[in-house]
Amino acid sequence: MQKNHKVSYFINFLGILVVFGIFALLFEGKAFGTSTQYIKGICTTACYTIIMVASLNLVVGCMGEFSLGHAGFVSVGAYASAIVSHALAGRGLPDIVLFIVALLAGGLAAGFTGVLVGIPALRLRGDYLAIVTVAFAEIIRVCFCNFPITGGGKTMSGILKLSGFYWCFWIMVVCVAIMYMYVRSRYGRTVKAIREDYIAAAASGINVTYYKVLTFTVAAFFAGIGGGIYAHYMTAMIPTNFNFMYSAELLSEVIIGGTGSFTGSIIGAAFLSSLPEMMRQFSQYRMLAYSVILVLVMVFKPGGIFGQWEFSLCRVLDKLAGCRRLLRKTVKGGA
């Protein structure tokens, strides 16, 4: 890793610490009064939604393929992590250890499912791939509706309440950071080359299927992590929660934020996941507002709000330093 990259990562990490400190002060100081716990819950929802949306962005933004079955991987991770945490409960493990083990189990289960789906499906492209992913998600949903271990179509309740905002925040930071570094690695650059020109990449000797399946599996793994956090926050699930509309909602958040931009995924997921709660008093207009936002973004910013742009605190500081130098030169020149 180059020295300037290390400095940039360190400065951005300090910025994340400041953001976390602000949230901690607001929540611990009861800044929102009786609504503090409610707002903390909305922020927790935003954290696991960000992981799901960012993982889908690996497929849509980095790989350039549309997946309409991402909720299937989320559901695999959610149910697998809930089953593992239930099996390990009462064995003397600290809650954080139990939580991490359950999340890793959910991620691995979703990643393995991603391999099984990706090997045959990723030989297809465009609309055909989208249709296959929809079919996969429906197959998973129907299976969960019939497996006794997942509730057999009824609500799976009694899941341990392990997801808290502070833990979820740092898990979200780690997951997004790993995905960001993956995109910037040689694997990510290779996948982007495949996205730009599939035929040229294959002709140059790149194993196109391998890199696409690898990226698809990484995306499924982190979707499973997000699903595990969801399960241990909601403490009850039903397979119909992970239907086609949930996949479409995640995809719309990717598109609104900007395909290829993790900054867009973070902002889009945080805003749109909290929008239903912010408009709870106007529940009959929630879907109308959601649709209006989609239409406005597609009309005025077809590439998404952020396009492929990424926010960097180091870049902001450089611009401020440049403005300061320019101001000093102007003042000296005027004097």
**DSSP characters for 266-308?**
HHHHHHHHHHHHHTGGGGGGHHHHHHHHHHHHHHH-TT-SSTT
pLDDT in tens, 181-230: 999 888 989 988 888 888 888 888 888 889 999 999 999 999 999 999 99
Category of 124 on φ-ψ map: left (φ > 0), alpha (ψ -120 to 50) or beta: beta
- Report DSSP state, residue 31: T
The DSSP secondary structure of 33-48, one letter per residue, reads: GGGHHHHHHHHHHHHH
Q: How far is CA 263 from the centre of its chain?
A: 11
**327 pLDDT tier (thresholds 50, 70, 90):** low
Q: How far is CA 55 from the centre of its chain?
A: 5
Least confident of 45-59, 164-178, 210-224, 297-311: 297-311
CB distance 162 to 232 below 8 Å: yes
What pLDDT does residue 326 have? 64
Averaged pLDDT of the chain: 84
| Nearest partner of 230 among 162, 146, 282, judged by Cα | 162
pLDDT in tens, 280-322: 666 566 667 767 877 888 788 877 888 777 777 777 777 766 6
**4 pLDDT tier (thresholds 50, 70, 90):** low
Find residue 151's DSSP bridge partners: none
Average pLDDT of the segment spanning 33-54:
89
Q: Alpha-carbon distance 9 to 312, whole Å?
A: 9
Q: Which two tokens stand for residue 12?
A: 């951005």
Q: Alpha-carbon distance 159 to 236, whole Å?
A: 6
In sequence order, what are the residues at sequence separation of 6 or more whose Cβ sits closer than 8 angstroms to the Cβ of residue 85? 98, 99, 101, 102, 159, 160, 162, 232
pLDDT top residue among 324 and 77: 77
